């Protein structure tokens, strides 16, 4: 589910003019999830994109059921990034961490 969101996000951002714009967008999206604000996260994604409604439902459910911590690390040499997310269930003492390159 989250991987699909990232793929959709990357497609949306394909038209960004500069690396700094990408850094700003990814940074605000990561911050929004960490601050329990999925609406701000979703603003960066075109609502007319295929699958947006399902993505919005899934992101909202993920945020409602879990405490999320996200961070972005930009690798300057090749302008790639590392998106790290940590999900802690609000109901159980479970944690998971994934890194997406």
CB 3 within 8 A of CB 51: no
Q: Which CA distances in Å does 56 have to 49, 80, 99, 101?
A: 11, 26, 21, 22
Does position 94 have pLDDT exceeding 60, yes or no?
A: no
Provide the domain limits for residue 6: 2-100
Does position 48 have pLDDT exceeding 90, yes or no?
A: yes
Of the chain, the percentage scoring pLDDT greater than 90 comes to 26
Number of domains in the chain: 1
Rg (CA), the chain: 13
Q: pTM for this one?
A: 0.65
Tell me, what's the pLDDT at 95? 47
């Amino acid at each position: 589910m989250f991987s699909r969101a990232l793929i959709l996000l990357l497609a949306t951002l394909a038209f960004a003019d500069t690396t700094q714009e990408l850094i700003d967008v990814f940074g605000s999206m990561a911050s929004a999830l960490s601050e329990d604000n999925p609406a701000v996260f979703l603003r960066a994604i075109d609502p007319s994109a295929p699958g947006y409604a399902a993505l919005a439902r899934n992101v909202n459910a993920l945020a409602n059921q879990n405490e999320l911590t996200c961070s972005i690390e930009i690798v300057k040499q090749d302008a790639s990034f590392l998106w790290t997310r940590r999900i802690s269930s609000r109901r159980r003492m479970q944690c998971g961490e994934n890194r997406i390159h």
